[in-house]
């Protein structure tokens, strides 16, 4: 009799109690995952000035993002990096809608965004089919769609407000920049941080060689009043100050003190983080990184994803103090 009672109790535990505990545990887990911070933003469409077509198009925001992520980040990147890019791009789009919604950006013929590098590069599906390799739409576009769809409605916020400058670039060169060292003002979430996983970046370092006469010609074309000649050029160039991230803040060339970003623009360098050496009668510029260096490094994000970091960890590393919230 005791054996029968014991067996009955055991069956009761196995059939009723344990499943109930497991179901309750699963419910708690699901509730934890689904519980997201909601921000009172409700943006479904964006207006984009199509530069080549010279017209404004109304585009559903998630469809717009598929065209942006396809154009701004290699589709072969890790999924968590693609998700991070999708959220950064969505955050930028939302910031432009908030800034120009209704009245429009006068520089974009009244739209909120353009489809070029001035804002974010955007190409629709028909354009992607034309410019991408033959099998790209089949093999890679589904990954872009997945990254956008799995982060639907998510944007970055700072102090519970959408951030206005979710900047990103290709490669930082090992350390990103403080915003005020590259642009005009200090932004609390755009601080210099280490970016250690960029070794696979194709332009982590580059070399640009110029004859002294070519260098002088380029500088005089931009600055007509510069005092500079190709004789003993080494004595006429001096780096004065670097940023926390390594980029040149001030450099003296001839009689002018310039910003590193200005020299980068004039010479077409990949980065303002450069060193100069001289050999064989040439001026040799060695650059580190690719782009302005502020915000998220795309190759750094991909490296972090390969190391097992999730999209939210990637974003919170590159954008200090932000939260990720869902638009209602």
pLDDT in tens, 183-198: 989 999 999 999 999 9
CA distances from 213 to 209, 224, 233, 261, 281 (A): 12, 15, 9, 21, 10
Give CA–CA dist 132/322, Å, rounded: 34
Give CA–CA dist 284/136, Å, rounded: 38
Report pLDDT digits (tens) over 22-42: 434 333 333 333 456 777 777
Question: Is the model more confident about 13 or about 272?
Answer: 272
Q: How many CB atoms lie within 10 A of CB 84?
A: 35
Task: State percent of the chain over pLDDT 70.
Answer: 89
Give CA–CA dist 78/313, Å, rounded: 14
Question: Is the model more confident about 10 or about 303?
Answer: 303
Average pLDDT for 303-317: 98
Average pLDDT for 300-315: 98
- Cβ within 8 Å of residue 49, ≥6 positions away: 55, 56, 108, 109, 110, 111, 113, 114, 115
Q: Are 322 and 158 in contact (CB under 8 A)?
A: yes
pLDDT tier at 6, thresholds 50, 70, 90:
low
Average pLDDT for 130-150: 96
* Residues paired with 162 in a beta bridge: 157
pLDDT score of 36 = 61
Give CA–CA dist 211/320, Å, rounded: 42
Structure tokens that stand for 244 in this block: 């926390």
pLDDT score of 109 = 85
pLDDT score of 99 = 87
What rounded mean pLDDT belongs to the chain?
Answer: 89
Task: Locate all alpha helices (DSSP H) within the chain, ordered by sequence.
Answer: 2-12, 18-34, 61-72, 79-100, 125-131, 136-139, 141-149, 212-222, 260-267, 298-306, 311-318
Give CA–CA dist 239/259, Å, rounded: 10
Structure tokens that stand for 229 in this block: 């000649």
- Cβ within 8 Å of residue 267, ≥6 positions away: 208, 210, 215, 218, 285
- Which of 126, 203, 139 has its CA nearest to residue 171? 203
Give CA–CA dist 150/146, Å, rounded: 6
pLDDT score of 39 = 77
Report pLDDT digits (tens) over 195-209: 999 999 999 999 999
pLDDT score of 40 = 72
- Cβ within 8 Å of residue 237, ≥6 positions away: 251, 252, 253, 276, 283
Q: Are strands 237-242 and 248-253 parallel, antiparallel or unpaired?
A: antiparallel
Task: Please tell me the pTM assigned to this model.
Answer: 0.85
Report pLDDT digits (tens) over 77-100: 999 999 999 999 999 999 999 888
pLDDT score of 4 = 53
- Which of 261, 288, 299 has its CA nearest to residue 72? 299
Report pLDDT digits (tens) over 250-305: 999 999 999 999 999 999 999 999 999 999 999 999 999 999 999 999 999 999 99
């Amino acid at each position: 009799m005791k054996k029968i009672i014991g067996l009955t109790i055991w069956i009761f535990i196995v059939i009723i109690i344990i499943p109930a505990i497991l179901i309750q545990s699963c419910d708690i887990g699901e509730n934890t995952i689904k519980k997201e911070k909601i921000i009172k933003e409700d943006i479904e469409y964006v207006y984009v000035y199509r530069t080549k077509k010279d017209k404004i198009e109304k585009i559903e925001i998630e469809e717009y993002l598929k065209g942006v992520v396809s154009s701004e980040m290699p589709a072969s990147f890790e999924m968590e990096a693609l998700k991070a890019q999708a959220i950064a791009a969505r955050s930028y789009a939302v910031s432009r809608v908030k800034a120009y919604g209704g009245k429009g950006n006068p520089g974009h013929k009244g739209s909120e965004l353009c489809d070029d590098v001035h804002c974010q590069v955007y190409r629709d599906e028909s354009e992607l089919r034309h410019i991408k390799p033959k099998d790209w739409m089949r093999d890679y576009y589904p990954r872009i769609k997945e990254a956008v769809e799995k982060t639907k409605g998510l944007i970055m916020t700072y102090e519970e407000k959408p951030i206005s400058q979710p900047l990103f670039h290709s490669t930082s060169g090992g350390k990103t920049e403080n915003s005020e060292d590259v642009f005009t003002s200090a932004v609390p979430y755009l601080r210099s941080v280490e970016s250690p996983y960029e070794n696979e970046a194709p332009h982590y370092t580059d070399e640009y060689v110029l004859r002294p006469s070519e260098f002088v010609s380029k500088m005089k074309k931009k600055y007509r009043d510069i005092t500079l000649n190709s004789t003993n050029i080494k004595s006429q160039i001096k780096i004065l100050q670097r940023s926390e991230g390594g980029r040149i803040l001030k450099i003296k060339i001839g009689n002018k003190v310039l910003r590193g970003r200005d020299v980068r623009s004039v010479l077409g360098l990949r980065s303002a983080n450069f060193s100069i050496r001289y050999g064989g009668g040439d001026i040799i510029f060695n650059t580190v990184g690719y782009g302005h260096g502020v915000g998220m490094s795309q190759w750094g994000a991909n490296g972090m994803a390969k190391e097992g970091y999730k999209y939210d960890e990637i974003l919170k590393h590159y954008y200090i103090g932000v939260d990720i919230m869902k638009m209602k």
